[in-house]
Chain A
């Protein structure tokens, strides 16, 4: 491993002091003079025409300053992707229970709540569709009968509720299935999931005297909020300033415009600042969660255990609107394996439920549960060791990835070996105990990234990027700048930013900050360093290549005492010909850099109750280089615990008749607590990526993918039952132990219909 001065050290977070003292300011902590409070009224119907809305009694309530409904907004549809399928507030129809139909600004929150009760909405009910498999069928009621007239519309098949298709193909799948020695088919179902961020969505909007709108937001994507807000308010984008505040968790849920438009319009109407904070029930019912997903897999395998073909179909429920967009899970339908022939399809169906949001690599955790359970089942069926079966088929450097890219060097095999060694696999455990593994893959996220570094006269540097700090990313970016410039961490000041001040940057999500944004910081630091070297060469009268930059100085390599500090150079630069020293960088995409993680669970299963106790969890991830090992481990531990919640207890339940969320609270949606968890064992492998900053890879997404399959595989190892539906509850395990029925409905008929519609032979 290369030697580093700043990277690979456990430096404290740059924001740690503010956070442990309670000084960090989140959107809800913004209080402005004369500020009003906003509350929203949610639809009580799943699918209905709005006949009338009478707000007169609410308007008349003392303390109420304004009431808005959908028709107060410009009649403009927007959407998260290309498809513009929704209004920001319901206009003529409602599509799910909880959909905002009106909002109030009042002098205090309780008055705003009272006013909501005085709003009279008359509905004419329409038939709702709740189950995505029903929504697929010809003759199903239609959620968006006018879909074909929406801007960006590109795809539908019979029934009209399918709004997107993602597909990928290679080779001759049918022939490969015919030639294979064995063919295995399985269907898996994963549950509805809430992102569970602790800070409810919050924002404050204020129209300034000059007519510009300022929004203090809880967001991962300030530029995305600005653009979408401009579109729904029909306002020039440059008239809006979004200030991303400290973010109390988002995990994908805060990537896009949420409710910022309501206080914004209310501020425009009242001339006062307006604040909106969701309560926890609103977080569950109005703020895009993940819906249940059905994944069907078919795999052709030869006698020696070589996989020759894979077919994967995902039926993905988007709820009322496309929301977070198509499900990226299908792109992971091969798992971490080299499979020559494949057909991958993901269909997204509209239903009358809250629209879908993003959550830590949306869809990939669902797909990994399916793929890694299926791999285990095939291995057992062939009488092979599950780890050996994975090793035999694992993708290698030089193979072609599912996206057509060449697979670069990576640490997949090292990760599997590390987990094998840590647990001493294969391993015999006492009756009722079992061990299971899962292999996870992801790619380092990319997208537009910018950075600017100015060198100050005291030798510190100011780092400006447009990216919101999530999970310590500011600390990582500061570390990269410090390492590149040869200065200490505390010499880097990370600027507070907003959309007026900072250069455009993609949203903070998809594990892209360290890889892509970090690369921009590395390049900006290089640019600043070159300028420092040029100025020093000029002032010291030596050629530039005789100089080096370290420990806060530029010095002559053959004669280190002949040097200038960064502070001296910055001061000189102010009056130099080339001017003050500022390093800049801007990039759009970086090459494909896969990330692999091997994970293993040990469980104890109680045969009488079906209860599963997780007794050990080990994960090993290839991180390329650990920018900050403590922060990396923190990410991996936190991600794994989210995955453990997904595996065992978390379950958003939707009413089968109305689509309403049945358990909208932390008391009924069960996320792991400290007492529920075993010690987490976290191992790091370091195979540097070819393009990431100092060889770093993405970190945050893969740890959450493994637990559902690793734990399901461990349950099978312990008691011999296979659970194909999440969560792996005691009830399901007990039913399986008693031999009571199959847990996941077979979706053969639906698949036949989809294939027929696509013109494939069935």
Chain B
């Protein structure tokens, strides 16, 4: 199938690429841009491993057609850290042991970043709700929730 032009900003860089019209945003990030930090767990919208921030909102990128993201701004897990420092959510995941196999981790981190943009002081219930579409088979979620609350604390006290 003929590829079509797509202009999209990814992690602050404007990209002009060609993608097949049936390609999802997830496949585009991975196959075309080689940003493989975003994971595919199901390709059906059920696991959250592919979560990215699209125009300010967390979305499951497997359910977004790339062409529908024309002109959009996307942040993936690769776009969070600066060369000098991790994002507070990444830092908190490390300190609180919020990851094991790590396959769900980019999606969980992006869901958490999305939450904290809108709601800098979430309760534990609100955190659980925000990651309610993210499956993790390893951690049992306890340390994930703790990590997100720790990051929220630190980010709020910096403002």
Residues of B within 8 A of A633 (CB): 97, 142-143
Residues of A within 8 A of B134 (CB): 673-674
> B37–A22 contact, CB under 8 A?
yes
Residues of B within 8 A of A679 (CB): 142
> B94–A17 contact, CB under 8 A?
yes
Bound together, the chains give a CA A249 to CA B139 distance in angstroms of: 11
> B residues 41-85 with Cβ under 8 Å of A?
41-44, 46-47, 49, 76-78, 80-81
> A641–B141 contact, CB under 8 A?
yes
Smallest beta-carbon distance B134→chain A, Å: 8
Given A22-B106, A26-B103, A674 contacting B97 (CB threshold 8 A): no
The residue in B80, B100, B104, B127 that gathers the most chain A C-beta atoms within 10 A of its C-beta is B100
> B140–A248 contact, CB under 8 A?
no
> A21–B78 contact, CB under 8 A?
yes
**A640 sits at the interface (CB 8 A):** yes
Bound together, the chains give a CA A25 to CA B132 distance in angstroms of: 26
Smallest beta-carbon distance A18→chain B, Å: 8
**B8 sits at the interface (CB 8 A):** no
Smallest beta-carbon distance A374→chain B, Å: 27
> A31–B34 contact, CB under 8 A?
yes
Smallest beta-carbon distance A49→chain B, Å: 34
Residues of B within 8 A of A638 (CB): 100, 136-140
> B128–A675 contact, CB under 8 A?
yes
**A246 sits at the interface (CB 8 A):** yes
For B117-159 the 0/1 string (1 means CB < 8 A from A) is 0000000000111011111111111111100000000000000
> A640–B41 contact, CB under 8 A?
no
> B40–A22 contact, CB under 8 A?
no
> A280–B132 contact, CB under 8 A?
no
Bound together, the chains give a CA A248 to CA B139 distance in angstroms of: 12
**B109 sits at the interface (CB 8 A):** yes
**B7 sits at the interface (CB 8 A):** no
**Contact check: which of B20, B46, B97, B129 meets A666 at CB < 8 Å?**
B46
> A residues 460-509 with Cβ under 8 Å of B?
470-472
| Chain B: CB-nearest residue to A25 | B36
Given A21-B37, A674-B128, A630 contacting B143 (CB threshold 8 A): yes
> B46–A20 contact, CB under 8 A?
no
Smallest beta-carbon distance B103→chain A, Å: 3
For A264-288 the 0/1 string (1 means CB < 8 A from B) is 0000000000000101100000000
Bound together, the chains give a CA A277 to CA B40 distance in angstroms of: 10
Bound together, the chains give a CA A19 to CA B144 distance in angstroms of: 14
Smallest beta-carbon distance A750→chain B, Å: 35
**Contact check: which of B80, B90, B97 meets A13 at CB < 8 Å?**
B97
Given A20-B90, A471-B138, A198 contacting B100 (CB threshold 8 A): no
Bound together, the chains give a CA A673 to CA B145 distance in angstroms of: 12
Bound together, the chains give a CA A280 to CA B62 distance in angstroms of: 13
> B22–A667 contact, CB under 8 A?
no
Residues of A within 8 A of B99 (CB): 13, 16, 19-20
> B137–A642 contact, CB under 8 A?
yes
> B residues 93-114 with Cβ under 8 Å of A?
93-97, 99-106, 109
| Chain B: CB-nearest residue to A669 | B46
Which of under 10, 10 to 19, 20 to 34, or 35 or more describes the interface residues of A?
35 or more
> B136–A637 contact, CB under 8 A?
no
Given A12-B95, A198-B136, A674 contacting B145 (CB threshold 8 A): yes
> B103–A198 contact, CB under 8 A?
yes
> A199–B86 contact, CB under 8 A?
no
**Contact check: which of B30, B86, B143 meets A634 at CB < 8 Å?**
B143
Bound together, the chains give a CA A280 to CA B43 distance in angstroms of: 8
| Chain B: CB-nearest residue to A24 | B102
**A28 sits at the interface (CB 8 A):** yes
Bound together, the chains give a CA A409 to CA B131 distance in angstroms of: 42
The residue in A29, A195, A277, A673 that gathers the most chain B C-beta atoms within 10 A of its C-beta is A673
Smallest beta-carbon distance A202→chain B, Å: 10
Bound together, the chains give a CA A247 to CA B97 distance in angstroms of: 17
**B28 sits at the interface (CB 8 A):** no
**A251 sits at the interface (CB 8 A):** yes
> B residues 2-51 with Cβ under 8 Å of A?
20, 22, 30-31, 34-44, 46-47, 49
The residue in B103, B128, B143, B145 that gathers the most chain A C-beta atoms within 10 A of its C-beta is B103
**A394 sits at the interface (CB 8 A):** no
Bound together, the chains give a CA A21 to CA B82 distance in angstroms of: 10
Given A198-B103, A674-B128, A630 contacting B97 (CB threshold 8 A): yes
> B35–A22 contact, CB under 8 A?
yes
**A42 sits at the interface (CB 8 A):** no
> B86–A20 contact, CB under 8 A?
yes
> B46–A16 contact, CB under 8 A?
no
| Chain A: CB-nearest residue to B34 | A31
Smallest beta-carbon distance B5→chain A, Å: 19
**A23 sits at the interface (CB 8 A):** yes
> A22–B77 contact, CB under 8 A?
yes
> A680–B128 contact, CB under 8 A?
no
Residues of A within 8 A of B106 (CB): 22
| Chain B: CB-nearest residue to A251 | B137
> B42–A666 contact, CB under 8 A?
yes
Given A198-B49, A641-B141, A674-B144, A19 contacting B102 (CB threshold 8 A): yes
**Contact check: which of B97, B101, B142, B143 meets A248 at CB < 8 Å?**
B101
Given A20-B94, A666-B44, A675 contacting B129 (CB threshold 8 A): yes
> A15–B139 contact, CB under 8 A?
no
Bound together, the chains give a CA A640 to CA B139 distance in angstroms of: 10
> B103–A199 contact, CB under 8 A?
yes
The residue in A17, A198, A675 that gathers the most chain B C-beta atoms within 10 A of its C-beta is A198
**A157 sits at the interface (CB 8 A):** no
> A20–B139 contact, CB under 8 A?
no
Residues of B within 8 A of A16 (CB): 93-94, 99
**A671 sits at the interface (CB 8 A):** yes
| Chain A: CB-nearest residue to B147 | A20
Bound together, the chains give a CA A341 to CA B29 distance in angstroms of: 62
Residues of A within 8 A of B109 (CB): 20
**A592 sits at the interface (CB 8 A):** no
**Contact check: which of A29, A198, A665, A671 meets B101 at CB < 8 Å?**
A198
| Chain A: CB-nearest residue to B102 | A19
**A196 sits at the interface (CB 8 A):** yes
Residues of B within 8 A of A280 (CB): 41-44, 46
Binding site for B on A (CB under 8 A): 10, 12-13, 15-26, 28-29, 31, 110, 195-200, 246-249, 251, 277, 279-280, 470-472, 630-631, 633-635, 637-642, 665-667, 671, 673-675, 677, 679-680
Binding site for A on B (CB under 8 A): 1, 20, 22, 30-31, 34-44, 46-47, 49, 76-78, 80-81, 86, 90-91, 93-97, 99-106, 109, 127-129, 131-145
Q: Known A-B contacts: A248-B102, A280-B46, A667-B44. Give 14 more (CB < 8 A).
A: A16-B94, A19-B105, A28-B40, A31-B34, A197-B101, A197-B103, A197-B137, A280-B41, A280-B44, A634-B100, A638-B136, A642-B137, A674-B134, A675-B132
Minimum-distance CB pairs A-B, first 7 = A22-B37, A248-B103, A19-B102, A637-B140, A641-B140, A666-B46, A22-B77
